[in-house]
Amino acid sequence: MAIVTPGFRGRRRAQADRLPPGQYLEDDFPVLSAGPTPRIPLDRWEFSIETATGPARVWTWAQLLAIAPETPTVDIHCVTKWSKLDTRWTGVSLDTLLTEVDTDAAFALVESYGGYTTNLPLADLLNGQAWIVYRYDGEDLRAEHGGPARLLVPHLYFWKSAKWVRRIHLLPRDQPGFWESLGYHDYGDPWREQRYAGD
Amino acid sequence: MARAAIRRRLTGPLPWRVAHLVGRRAETATANTLSLRLDDWPGHLPGQHVDLRLTAEDGYSVQRSYSIASAPEDSMLELTVQLLAEGEVSPFLVRDYALGDPIELRGPVGGWFAWEPDDERPVLLIGGGSGVVPLMAMVRTRRALGRTTPFTLLYSVRTPEDVYYRDELERGDDVGVAILYTRRAPPGSRRPPQRLSPNDLPPLTERHPVTYICGPTGFVEAAAGMLVDLGYDPDQIRTERFGPTGA
Amino acid sequence: MPTPPPATIHPDGHTDGNALAGPLGELFAVDLTAAATSCVGCGRRSHLAELHLYSSGPGLIARCPGCHDPVLRLVRTPERLILDLRGTVSLSVFLPSPGE
């Protein structure tokens, strides 16, 4: 049972109505990484969606940028308890990308350059809930924040919004990703505070 | 190399203890040395560190690691903390943490980056900025025990105003000390201000030293690389990285 | 073992395994930072203190200094400490001699 350190307040934080339980408001955009920042040359970057059957659908950088983007403004919630409100992004909706893919898979395993993975139900990538984003706050997405492109799935804890996104595998069964296989929740709804497996 | 297992009374996993601030002194305009008292401090090896845990009234909690600056023979546990303006913990420790107040502490930990006084090898210490702190604990231990192990300290620091422990380092005992300025050197200095380079490093002698390098990650990796290029044995180089911005 | 991506990896923002001493001390009575590990990915032997530590909020990831594969992963939840060692073939540490 930790004792209070008199006089310590930490970063200025405030509770707001739009925050899920246990979260604090953050003005900065913290960089939290599980590994080194990969640098991917754009002429070799590609993003693909793969299914168990059938060929992969692959987009080059030029092909991704040729798709009419959306500009979602969303709140994001990190499992380490910081939340950032009204973050502005530009990217392509997964609804648009997934129309080109035929599948009856129910789950997705997202893979990043550098080896990171995370899992979520395919349904959570649909219906305006997810994007492949490449601009943040009016500028190109920086490498330390997941650039050139990352997944954005703001209704789940932010570890599901995989940085340096490379591939999405569509699978018949749920397969735990990097943090999920270390005890984090397979779904990760911040409003039900689903941080750890069993929550 | 000889076993570096650090023994601890088998009281089970390392507990959080409560320490109290009993003294504070300025090392520079932006760095303080805190003197802490705890009951039943088990002692430590120079080079080891402690973890501090700070908890706000609403339960918000953070932890940071700080190298122990004092020798085990000293009566108080001392930590030297550099104020980082954007930091979350150092502004509290350097400005607000009041005499007599408690703080939670875990340690000592970190047996890898530790000097054992019975080790007869000569010692080369290379510190970048606040990386000098654990190295100073080694210098102080050597002095307290009256050892004559050859010690050389290279201390890379931005300007003369940033130097910690200046009085002690200029004491003139038989520890070879070179302060290497990177931004501004005192007038009349022979060495122009610049980053650590291979010219600053002692050439290898017959007896390989054990080397301890501590500081920001980039500094540590550059220094270690230079030593290896000069022929130093990588197995006798111990490193401790503080991260990109230092402690 | 996954094939390396076609990107250049520039290590940045890491510290090292020395900082694992405290968290691992919650589980082990012996200091493990001097323990020898052997990377499953490339075979490189490193002391735990030499691993490149990424203190990502959700957990601590200690990576091989050579190939950057994760060697040790540590997650601390309010109720559990989860230590994942699949990235090392073994962990080898000198034991304290009796009476110490």
Q: Residue ranges per domain, chain C?
A: 15-92
Identify whether residues B87 and B191 lie together within a single domain.
no
Q: What confidence score (pLDDT) does residue B244 get?
A: 63
pLDDT at B49: 96
Return the pLDDT at B38: 92
Last residue of a domain, one of B59, B82, B109: B109
B220/B150 same-domain check: yes
Task: Tell me which chain A residues have a C-beta less than 8 angstroms from the C-beta of B85.
Answer: none
Shared domain check, B235 and B135: yes
Number of domains in chain B: 2
Query: Are residues B150 and B100 both part of a single domain?
Result: no
Domain-embedded: residue A6: no
Measured from the Cβ of residue B178, the count of other Cβ atoms closer than 10 Å reads: 15
CB pairs under 8 A between A and B: 46
Residue B51, pLDDT score: 95
* Structural domain includes residue A19: no
Higher pLDDT, A135 or B172: A135
Among A65-79, B7-21, B215-229, C53-67, the range scoring the smallest mean pLDDT is B7-21
CA distance B100 to chain C (A): 25
**Residue of A29, A37, A82 best to disrupt the C interface, most CBs of C under 10 A:** A37
- Specify the pLDDT at position B98: 97
Among A3, A4, A5, A25, which would you mutate to test the B interface (most chain B Cβ atoms within 10 Å of its Cβ)? A5
Out of A4, A11, A13, name the one closest to residue B55 (CB).
Answer: A4
Which residues are A50's β-sheet partners? A169
Residue A2, min C-alpha distance to chain B (Å):
7
First to last CA, chain A: 21
Residue C8's pLDDT band (cuts 50, 70, 90): very low
pLDDT of residue C3: 36
- pLDDT reading at B3 higher than 70: no
Choose one of B109, B137, B152: the last residue of a domain. B109
Closest to A91 measured CA to CA, from A58, A59, A134, A150: A134
Pair B82, B129 in one domain: no
Establish if B115 belongs to a structural domain.
Answer: no
Asked whether residue B129 falls in the same domain as residue B105, the answer is no
B&C contacts, CB < 8 Å: 87
Confidence of residue C79 (pLDDT cuts 50, 70, 90): confident
Same domain, B93 and B140: no
Contact C82 A182 (CB under 8 A): yes
What's the CA gap between A44 and A22, in Å, rounded? 41
Q: Is the pLDDT of residue A15 over 60?
A: yes
d(CA C68, CA C61): 10
pLDDT reported for residue C15:
93
Structural domain contains residue A31? no
Find chains touching chain A: ≥3 CB pairs under 8 Å: B, C
Q: Which residue of A has its CA nearest to C4?
A: A114
Closest CA in chain B for residue A2: B55
pLDDT digits (tens, 9 = 90+) for B121-130: 999 999 999 9
Residue A22 lies in a domain: no
Q: Which domain holds residue B92?
A: 17-109
B150 domain-assigned: yes
Q: What chain C residue is nearest to A158 in terms of C-alpha separation?
A: C58
Higher pLDDT, B78 or B74: B78
Chain B closest CA to A157's CA: distance in Å? 19
Task: Find chain C residues with C-beta within 8 A of A181's C-beta.
Answer: 84
The answer to whether residue B5 scores a pLDDT higher than 80 is no
Mean pLDDT value across residues B59-80: 92
Q: What's the sign of the alpha-carbon dihedral B68, B73, B125, C48?
A: negative
Inspect the interface and report whether the beta carbons of B111 and C33 lie closer than 8 Å: yes
B154 and B201 assigned to the same domain? yes
Q: Are residues B41 and B97 in the same domain?
A: yes
Asked whether residue B78 is assigned to any structural domain, the reply reads: yes
- Residue C91, pLDDT > 70, answer yes
In a domain, B54, yes or no: yes
Contact assignment for A80 to C57 by CB distance below 8 Å: yes
The pLDDT-based confidence of A12 (bands split at 50, 70, 90) is: low
**A17 within domain boundaries:** no
pLDDT tens digits, residue range B114-149? 999 999 999 999 999 999 999 999 999 999 999 999
pLDDT of the residue at C99: 55
Interface touch C22/B3, C-beta < 8 Å: no
Asked whether the predicted pLDDT for residue B6 surpasses 80, the reply is no
CATH number, position B128: 3.40.50.80
Which secondary-structure segment (H or E) carries C22?
helix C21-24
How high is the mean pLDDT of chain A? 94
Residue A61, domain CATH: 3.90.420.10
Name the range with the highest mean pLDDT among A134-148, B51-65, C50-64: A134-148
Dist CA C41 CA C2 (whole Å): 9
Q: Does pLDDT of B8 surpass 50?
A: no
Which residue is listed with tokens 């390098």?
B213
Tell me how far apart the alpha carbons of residues A171 and C86 are, in angstroms, rounded to a whole number. 24
Instruction: Say yes or no for a CB contact (<8 Å) between C22 and B6.
Output: no
- What is the total residue count of chain B? 247
Write out the residue range of the structural domain in which residue A97 sits.
43-192
Residues B180-192, mean pLDDT to the nearest whole number: 96
CA gap A48, C89 in Å, rounded = 33
Reading the block at residue C3, the tokens are 């094939």
Residue to substitute from B17, B92, B105, B241, interface A, most A β-carbons within 10 A? B92
Residues of C in contact with B3 (CB under 8 A): 34, 94
Q: Closest-CA residue in chain C for A114?
A: C5
Instruction: Say if the Cβ atoms of C57 and A181 lie within 8 Å.
Output: no
The pLDDT of residue B80 is above 90: yes
Q: What pLDDT, on a 0 to 100 scale, did the predictor assign at position B69?
A: 98
Last residue of a domain, one of B109, B136, B161: B109
Query: Is it the case that residue B2 has pLDDT exceeding 60?
Result: no
Please name every residue paired with B54 in a beta bridge, in sequence order, or none if there are none.
B62
A152 φ, ψ (degrees, to nearest 5): -125, 115
Percent of the residues in chain B that have a pLDDT greater than 70, as a whole number: 93
Q: Is the minimum CB–CB distance between B104 and chain A shorter than 8 Å?
A: yes
**Taking 70 as the threshold, does the pLDDT of residue C10 lie above it?**
no
Note whether C84 contacts A182, CB cutoff 8 Å.
yes
Residue B180 has pLDDT above 50, yes or no: yes
**The pLDDT of residue C80:** 87
Q: Do B230 and B139 have their domain in common?
A: yes
Give the whole-number percent of chain B exceeding pLDDT 90: 81
C6 CB within 8 Å of a chain B CB: no
Domain count, chain A: 1
Confidence of residue A52 (pLDDT cuts 50, 70, 90): confident
* B130 lies in the same domain as B211: yes
Size of interface A-C (CB pairs under 8 A): 84
Contact between residue B72 and residue B33 where contact means Cβ atoms under 8 Å apart: no
Instruction: Quote the pLDDT of residue B91.
Output: 95
Please report whether residue A47 resides in a domain: yes
Mark yes or no for CB contact C59/A179 under 8 Å: yes
Tell me, yes or no, whether B102 and B135 share the same domain.
Answer: no
Do A141 and A83 contact (CB within 8 A), yes or no?
Answer: no
Q: Residues of A with CB below 8 A from C58's CB?
A: 32, 34, 79-80, 159, 179, 182, 184
Distance from CA of A184 to the nearest CA of B (A): 20
Mean pLDDT confidence for B181-203 = 96
